[in-house]
């Protein structure tokens, strides 16, 4: 499936292109409304667009998309007031996501709109959230339920540090048991050994992170 990303922040463009490409989407981008209009055609499955663009408002571009192309669209924007969000939905936008955003949440919302399997992929590791399984090179990795949930926590917060305190809270929520700091080290070590990869990075004294 092909996605058109309309965004003038090139760092966001780069990160999103990597994220979406790793999850089997084809990505093209435009940094202005004028450029987007030149690219637009009915082969796109989805448009993700900012509201503030160098040559106008993404809301105007969306109305053009809605009128002439009928392509599902998501606003991805720093405009986070309730009135802005309500206005977006009143215009007919399919979803409205505010910056900063969680990578996993964005993928989940895209997948929901496009009605595809919820797959989150980093390098050769894939989490299928529908089947609740983890694959490495398409071979299933045998994780416990708790190990799966901890890996999912990292994968749905790509490029963000998950603190040890947050992981402790997550384990307590899942098990109801008190958790000690060294328990986290043991769980992460087990997950790393089963995945046999270094995608889980340690942020010394803080927590853990998975990057795209």
Q: Given this model, what pLDDT does residue 117 score?
A: 53
Three-state SS for 101? coil
How many structural domains is the chain composed of? 2
Which of 82, 114, 146 is a domain's end point?
114
Cβ burial 105-130 (10 Å sphere, 16+ → b, else e):
ebbebbbeeeeeebbbbbeebbbebe
pLDDT classification of 162: cutoffs 50, 70, 90: very high
**Over 80: is that where the pLDDT of 118 sits?**
no
Q: Given this model, what pLDDT does residue 73 score?
A: 96
Expressed as residue numbers, the domain containing 23 is 2-114
**Over 70: is that where the pLDDT of 137 sits?**
yes
pTM score, whole prediction: 0.58
195 vs 212: CA distance, rounded Å: 16
**Over 70: is that where the pLDDT of 144 sits?**
yes
* 102 and 127 co-located in one domain: no
pLDDT classification of 22: cutoffs 50, 70, 90: confident
Which of 79, 114, 149 is a domain's end point?
114
59 vs 50: CA distance, rounded Å: 9
pLDDT digits (tens, 9 = 90+) for 33-64: 999 999 998 789 899 999 999 999 999 999 99
* 16 and 105 co-located in one domain: yes
* 89 and 148 co-located in one domain: no
Q: What is the dihedral of CA 190, 191, 195, 201, to 10 degrees?
A: -110
**Over 60: is that where the pLDDT of 75 sits?**
yes
Three-state SS for 69? coil
* 108 and 159 co-located in one domain: no
Backbone φ and ψ for 185, nearest 5 degrees, come out as -55, -40
Which of 62, 94, 114 is a domain's end point?
114
Cross-sheet strand order for the sheet of 119-122? 119-122, 125-128, 133-136, 139-141
Q: Given this model, what pLDDT does residue 175 score?
A: 82
pLDDT classification of 116: cutoffs 50, 70, 90: low
Higher model confidence: residue 120 or residue 6? 6
* 126 and 26 co-located in one domain: no
Instruction: Check residue 71 and give left, alpha or beta (phi > 0: left; psi -120 to 50: alpha).
Output: beta
* 102 and 125 co-located in one domain: no
* 151 and 199 co-located in one domain: yes
* 130 and 147 co-located in one domain: yes
Indicate which CATH number applies to the domain containing 194: 1.10.10.10
Question: Region 133-145: what's the mean pLDDT?
Answer: 94
Q: Given this model, what pLDDT does residue 177 score?
A: 80
């Amino acid at each position: 499936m092909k996605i058109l990303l309309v965004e003038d922040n090139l760092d966001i463009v780069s990160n999103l292109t990597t994220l979406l490409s790793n999850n089997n989407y084809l990505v093209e981008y435009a940094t202005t409304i004028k450029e987007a209009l030149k690219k637009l055609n009915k082969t796109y499955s989805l448009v993700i667009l900012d509201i503030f663009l160098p040559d106008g408002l993404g809301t105007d571009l969306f109305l053009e998309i809605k009128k002439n192309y009928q392509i599902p669209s998501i606003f991805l924007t720093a405009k986070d007031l309730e009135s802005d969000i309500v206005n977006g939905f009143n215009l007919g936008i399919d979803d409205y996501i505010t910056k900063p955003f969680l990578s996993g949440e964005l993928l989940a919302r895209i997948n929901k709109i496009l009605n595809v399997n919820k797959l989150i992929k980093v390098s050769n590791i894939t989490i299928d959230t529908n089947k609740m399984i983890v694959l490495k090179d398409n071979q299933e990795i045998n994780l416990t339920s708790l190990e799966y949930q901890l890996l999912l926590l990292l994968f749905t917060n790509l490029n963000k540090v998950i603190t040890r305190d947050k992981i402790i809270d997550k384990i307590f929520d899942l098990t109801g048991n008190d958790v000690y700091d060294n328990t986290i080290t043991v769980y992460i070590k087990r997950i790393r050994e089963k995945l046999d990869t270094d995608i889980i990075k340690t942020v010394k004294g803080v927590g853990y992170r998975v990057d795209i």
